[in-house]
Amino acid sequence: MDQLVAVAQFIVNEVLSIPAYMVGLITAVGLIALRKSVGQIVGGGLKAVLGFLLIGAGADIVVTALDPLGVMIQGAAGAQGVVPTNEAIVAIAQDRFGAQVAWIMIAGFALSLVLARFTPLHYVFLTGHHILFMATLLTMVLATTALPTAVSVALGAVLLAVVMVALPALSQPWTRRVGGDGKIAIGHFGTLGYVAAGATGQLVGRTSRSTEDLKLPEGLRFLRDSMVATALSMVLIYVAVALVFWARQGTAAALEMFPPAEGIEPTIGHFIMQSVMQGLQFGIGVAVILYGVRTILGELVPAFQGIADRVVPGAVPALDAPIVFPFAQNAVLVGFLSSFVGGLVTLAVMAVALNPVFGLALILPGLVPHFFTGGAAGVFGNATGGRRGAVAGAFVNGVLITLLPAFLLGVLGDFGTANTTFGDADFGWFGIAIGYAFRTGDVGGVVLALVLAAALLAGAIVVQKRAVERGWDPGARHEAALAERAETEPEEGDSSTTDSSGGGTRRPERGE
């Protein structure tokens, strides 16, 4: 038995939880199904792996650049509270529930492939680390019950499999509007935030132009380069926060933020210039992510034709949130900033009202979840509502990922007192729903959890049949309004950056 557990943990920790390996294997399987040569199979698989490693490398650069900024923001604002960090809470839970998490993840992934094969939801969820995070969340919530381990594993696997195929389907109309022509889906557990952002864009941005169509004076044309615009924006933000941090916390605290090399005296000048460097590093990280996305799409999407033909007919890869970044690169930065502002506003409301009345923990806006989920929410909001949609949609995402983690702490048992929790929207609402289902007792909880899973699956099938397969476009009204506006204001249009199918959002070619 111990050997089986060890094998399961090895598969989870060393293969399934590494998105690059999973995507490489899936790409290779697709190329084998297409009967490609050995060289093409090996080359395609490796290139897909390298694409995901590029995304990871870019994400690491972004996270490294954001960490000190988060510390300075907390110091400048004087805020204290819980910082949602998926990796941290998962690491804490692994010590107690590692084997159970492994079995839920393996069984859930296998069952999701069965559902993808035999239901209309032909989505293959490939974001391995998010599968691990959701398996861990379900394990932690079910650990608060008196269910036997075998029952917990079986129930957790069913719930995991359902969300893995249902959530990509529920978001697919908006994902298809963003780009990809239905050949990719979102496989990231921030889906509620993305759908909310897209729906918000529909409400507020009927005639708003795309973030990608910003008209700039001749002297600012260089800002059309998204990498330059992102880096410059982050440099300005970083320096502004650094100055406020210095003013509030004093010179000593400022000098400790960026220790210089050994033998060099720390100075305020070094502190300021390191802030500039971190902003530039952020821009580099975003550029690396975008290149990684383009690399992996060039290999994975064609390979999935083989899987669609032989393994899961019509299979659609569900991929991590940055997969949508290239479709509206300006919207990523707009979404990040707007989501963060939404988090700050919600934190203020919680501190003044919700914390005293309900005793909710104060959730500090973590820059990493706000960048990745907020950036993606900005892209979704822009696709259906242009600039206003990007701002308002990402703001809504910021509210969700600040409120939901606070309520989630109440169903995590002993882990509710940890100084961290899960950060993305789907962990919040799904964990809360399952947790409160078991407030009726173990038997009632199992029944209600299965009813929730069945309702989610049925709802996703309805959306797939009536919206996705029938070609419903949530941005059609926005596109029509833009076309009407272009007829009355032709001088405002910019044909070089406008795409009629994307509501003003430029869609990059696969090989670009």
Cα–Cα distances in angstroms (integers) from residue 437 to residues 143, 152, 284, in the given order: 14, 14, 45
Q: Inter-axis angle of helices 476-488 and 191-204, to 10 degrees?
A: 40
Length of the chain: 512
Residue 441 lies in a domain: yes
* Identity of the residue numbered 135: A
| The residue to which tokens 């954001």 are assigned | 66
Any domain includes 149: yes
- Residue 124, SS3 per DSSP: strand
241 assigned to some structural domain: no
Say how far apart CA 61 and CA 289 lie, in whole Å. 10
Structural domain boundaries enclosing 161:
79-212+328-486
Give the DSSP letter string of 339-376: HHHHHHHHHHHIIIIIHHHH-PPPB---HHHHHHHHHH
Q: Provide the 8-state DSSP code for 119.
A: S
Average pLDDT, the chain: 84
pLDDT-based confidence at 412, cuts 50/70/90?
A: confident
> Is 80 exceeded by the pLDDT of residue 400?
yes
For residue range 32-84, what is the model confidence (pLDDT) as tens digits? 888 889 998 999 889 888 887 887 788 788 778 877 877 787 777 666 667 78
**String of b and e for 61-86 (b: at least 16 CB within 10 Å)?**
bbbebbebbbebbbbbbeeebbbbbb
Nearest to 286 by CA among 60, 71, 512: 60
Question: Is residue 272 situated within a structural domain?
Answer: no
Does 65 fall in a domain? Answer: no
Domain count, the chain: 1
Query: What's the rounded mean pLDDT across residues 192-197?
Result: 97
Query: Which range, 18-22, 183-187, 246-250, is most confident?
Result: 183-187
Rounded Cα gap, residues 325 and 321, in angstroms = 8
Instruction: Answer yes or no: is 295 within a domain.
Output: no
Q: Do residues 339 and 378 lie in contact, with contact meaning Cβ atoms separated by under 8 Å?
A: yes
Residue 13 within a domain: no
Range list of H helices, 119-225:
128-142, 149-178, 191-204
Does residue 296 sit within a domain?
no
Backbone angles phi, psi at 364, to 5 degrees: -75, 140
CB environment 209-236: b (16+ within 10 A), e (fewer)? bbbbbbeeeeeeeebeebeebbbbbbbe
Q: What is the per-residue pLDDT across 205-235, written as a single tens digit (0 to 9) for each? A: 888 888 888 775 666 666 566 677 778 878 8
3-state SS class at 82:
strand
Place of tokens 């003003």: 504
- The predicted model gives 396-405 an average pLDDT of 94
Residue 360 CA, distance from chain mean position: 25
Residue 478: closest CA among 198, 144, 183: 198
Q: What is the C-alpha separation between 305 and 359, in angstroms, rounded?
A: 51
Question: How much is the pLDDT for 137?
Answer: 94
Is the pLDDT score of 88 beyond 50?
yes
